[in-house]
């Protein structure tokens, strides 16, 4: 690690990777009581080692564990926060996507929220760090997830039902503890997936929030405040990334709308260093919001490369898109990453492992073509 230039790098990716058949099979066998949790962990360990090798061989200078131990990109982290309880409901679908629905699992808040010092993802990071020669990164859901994904009727802790500001403040404090705990575990590059900034740019979702009695612009501002409160005391050698998209489940999506309503809050109020922004379809709008990125060290990774389909983007087309992006933000403040993860839930997108490899290779080739190195 001492010989490696510290991040940020030009080539990066959001985090999740397709779960291999070995892991999916082991989970089924665990559910059938045919193997133990320790035996499942051993299978996951081997799969993560393979995932690290895949990323390193692609030429990436950062690696993740592919979120291989998780079922959901966000719920697995949230369920181990103090105050949260997850319930599965019969005859109810989960989150509605354009063409698919997740399993009917729902987060509830039953007491004061906090971050536990024995949160299992701290060990997940330590395992990853021990398996790579490049920079290990872990992705966790951002603090907004813990509000946006919990229905008001699923908050049984009365102080939070009565006072939304109290809930947001306590979430910010819990995440501040999480940031410190990951740093103490050796993490110097932490990514938080705060996708609801993008959701709150969707006209239909904005209207839903208004019907709930919440001003969507106020909510965007408070989400930015929560993120800033969570990370403002981080040590100077710790980078914080933030990913935003409009939904990613079995190659489907939820929201649409340009970043304009949230761009100022995203770039200028969160305090985040690196921004991973979905830009693989017209649903994300134009690149004009990048003009609000302040001059300096912050960096945006426009997600011109999609993880939803197998078709490989043409390198010349990607270079032209960066020519366009550079009209709004300095090219030196840009990098390249896919628009989202490859497997935001264990089901994964409708692509193959070979497709995934080719996409990661393209990320590196694009960085080398535009900036001269990854």
55 within domain boundaries: yes
339 within domain boundaries: yes
88 within domain boundaries: yes
Question: What is the C-alpha separation between 328 and 293, in angstroms, rounded?
Answer: 9
Residue 292 has pLDDT above 50, yes or no: yes
In the three-class reduction of DSSP (H, G, I as helix; E, B as strand; rest coil), residue 28 is classed as helix
How many CA atoms lie less than 13 Å away from 374 in the CB half-sphere? 21
2 within domain boundaries: no
Q: 216-231 and 260-269 helices cross at what angle (nearest 10)?
A: 20
For 207-230, what is each residue's pLDDT tens digit? 999 999 999 999 999 999 999 999
The CATH number of residue 135's host domain is 3.20.20.210
| % of the chain beyond a pLDDT of 90 | 89
Q: For strands 96-97 and 100-101, give the pairing.
A: antiparallel
8 within domain boundaries: no
Instruction: Give residue 306's Cα distance to chain centre.
Output: 15
Domain ranges, residue 347? 21-371
Total domains in the fold of the chain: 1
For 68-108, what is each residue's pLDDT tens digit? 999 988 899 999 999 999 998 876 666 654 556 667 789 99
What is the structure's pLDDT at 82? 98
3 within domain boundaries: no
4 within domain boundaries: no
12 within domain boundaries: no
Question: What is the C-alpha separation between 362 and 223, in angstroms, rounded?
Answer: 33
Element of type H or E holding 78: helix 75-78
What is the DSSP secondary structure assignment for residue 283, as one 8-state letter? G
E strands present in 219-293:
239-244, 274-278
């Amino acid at each position: 690690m001492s010989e490696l230039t510290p991040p940020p790098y030009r080539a990066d990716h959001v985090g999740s990777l397709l779960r291999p058949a070995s892991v999916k099979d082991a989970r089924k066998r665990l559910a059938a009581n045919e193997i133990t949790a320790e035996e499942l962990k051993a299978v996951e360990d081997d799969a993560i080692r393979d995932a690290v090798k895949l990323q390193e061989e692609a030429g990436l200078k950062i690696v993740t564990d592919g979120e291989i131990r998780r079922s959901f990109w966000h719920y697995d982290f949230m369920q181990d926060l103090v105050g949260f309880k997850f319930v599965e409901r019969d005859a109810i679908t989960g989150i509605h996507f354009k063409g698919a629905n997740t399993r009917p699992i729902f987060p509830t808040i039953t007491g004061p929220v906090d971050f536990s010092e024995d949160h299992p993802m701290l060990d997940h990071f330590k395992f990853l760090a021990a398996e790579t020669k490049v920079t290990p990164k872990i992705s966790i859901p951002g603090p907004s997830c813990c509000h946006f994904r919990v229905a008001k009727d699923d908050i049984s802790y009365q102080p939070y039902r009565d006072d939304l500001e109290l809930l947001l403040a306590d979430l910010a404090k819990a995440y501040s503890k999480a940031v410190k705990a990951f740093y103490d575990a050796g993490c110097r590059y932490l990514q938080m997936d705060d996708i609801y900034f993008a959701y709150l740019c969707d006209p239909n979702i904005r209207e839903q929030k208004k019907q709930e009695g919440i001003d969507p612009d106020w909510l965007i501002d408070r989400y930015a405040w929560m993120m800033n409160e969570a990370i403002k005391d981080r040590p100077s050698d710790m980078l914080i990334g933030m990913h935003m998209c409009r939904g990613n489940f079995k190659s489907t999506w939820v929201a649409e709308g340009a970043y304009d309503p949230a761009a100022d809050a995203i770039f200028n109020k969160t305090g985040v260093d690196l921004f991973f922004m979905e830009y693989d379809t017209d649903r994300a709008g134009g690149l004009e919001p990048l003009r609000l990125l302040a001059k300096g060290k912050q960096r945006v990774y426009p997600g011109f490369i999609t993880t939803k389909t197998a078709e490989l983007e043409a390198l010349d087309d990607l270079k032209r898109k960066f020519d366009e992006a550079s009209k709004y933000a300095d090219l030196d403040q840009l990098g390249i990453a896919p628009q989202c993860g490859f497997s935001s839930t264990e089901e994964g997108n409708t692509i193959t492992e070979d497709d995934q490899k080719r996409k990661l290779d393209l990320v590196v080739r694009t960085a080398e073509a535009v900036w001269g190195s990854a």
